[in-house]
Amino acid sequence: MEQWLVGVDLGGTTVKLAFVSIYGEIICKWEIPTDKSENGKYITTHIAKAIDEKLRELDESKERLIGIGIGAPGPVNMATGDIYEAVNLGWKNFPLKNRLEVETGLPVVVDNDANIAAIGEMWKGAGDGAKNLILVTLGTGVGGGIIVNGQIVHGTNGAGGEIGHITSIPEGGAPCNCGKTGCLETIASATGIARIATERLQQTDEPSRLRHVWNEAGAVTAKDVFDAVKENDALAQQIVDEVTFHLGLALAHLANGLNPEKIVIGGGVSKAGDVLAQAVAHHFKRFAFPRVAEAAEIVIATLGNDAGVIGGAWLVKTNMA
């Protein structure tokens, strides 16, 4: 009987789950809503029930499952599998590994959600097997996963790869949820791009397709900005240039220390595709050490929402299989 890996990607709105073969092929994937009530105390029970129900539906037994690899938002204590803090879920020092093992009767390995997405892209996605890779995810926030010699960089206390909190604006930057100001997350996230676009529209009378959107909808999104760039909208191009300047600069600083083969851009904002990748690469090349710039290819993530569950499966494969 072929054994399966279970990948779980725990997000603020949904929990994505998948049964994955040991070769990284998704056999079955589905999602459930994240129940954040009472500080997220029911999340592990719901994951256990979801796995049992899916096995019943497929008429499969639990013996098929080797174990569970789960990614959670927030720094992880790698020794215990506890989550130090996941603000979006209401967790503080939450014993995720122990809880989920008790609920499911399966061995569990835990890592950060951006880290498992980086592993997924390395194994089956845009990383294309590259052993030295930086993944930056641009969504509601900016996450990151750094892989060196095929291993995720966790750091001393689980906070390795916090790319979103590199300071981009040292003085007078926008406040960040982490408590600092001027973080890359306040600029290059979907939220940051929308904020910058709104500020530009308030500061200038320049005609722009974005002004039309703003007047109609009362708000501008990151998608609106990139759509306008594709129509050669001058104001939108200025906004994207500002955002990718900061992203290219931060990635160049990181790359100068790490000398990666691939820099993968993921998250919702990465749907902008080549427009984004080329603009980031332009600024990156200005600021990276020439030999570092020569080695690093900037690419758009290819796995989309599957990166996390595939990365979770890889954790099981390398730790248990």
pLDDT for 104-118, tens place per residue? Answer: 999 999 999 999 999
**pLDDT recorded at residue 193:** 98
Judged on CB neighbours under 10 Å (0-12, 13-18, 19+), 178 is middle
19, β-bridge pairs: 6, 28
**pLDDT recorded at residue 87:** 77
Question: Do residues 131 and 152 make contact, with C-beta atoms less than 8 angstroms apart?
Answer: no
Give me the residue spans of the domains in the chain. Answer: 4-120+305-320, 129-300
Buried b (16+ CB within 10 A) or exposed e, 100-111: bbebbebbbbbb
Distance CA 304, CA 287 (A): 28
pTM above 0.85, yes or no: yes
Nearest in space to 110 (alpha carbons), one of 73, 143, 62, 136: 73
Both tokens of 143, joined, read 């996450």
Q: What are 167-195's pLDDT values in tens digits? A: 999 999 999 988 999 999 999 999 999 99
- Residue 89 is which amino acid? L
- Residue 263 is which amino acid? I
**pLDDT recorded at residue 246:** 98
**pLDDT recorded at residue 88:** 78
**pLDDT recorded at residue 157:** 87
Question: Do residues 14 and 35 make contact, with C-beta atoms less than 8 angstroms apart?
Answer: no
Both tokens of 226, joined, read 């990139």
**pLDDT recorded at residue 140:** 85
- Residue 184 is which amino acid? L
Residues in the chain: 321
- CATH 3.30.420.40 given to domain 129-300: yes
- ∠ at Cα 269 (303, 166), nearest 5°? 100
**pLDDT recorded at residue 13:** 85
**pLDDT recorded at residue 74:** 84
Low-confidence ranges of the chain (pLDDT < 50): none
Distance CA 245, CA 252 (A): 10
**pLDDT recorded at residue 227:** 96
CA 57 → CA 8, 18, 215, 224, distances in Å?
Answer: 18, 14, 49, 41
Judge if 4-120+305-320 and 129-300 fold alike in CATH terms.
yes
4-120+305-320 — its CATH code?
Answer: 3.30.420.40
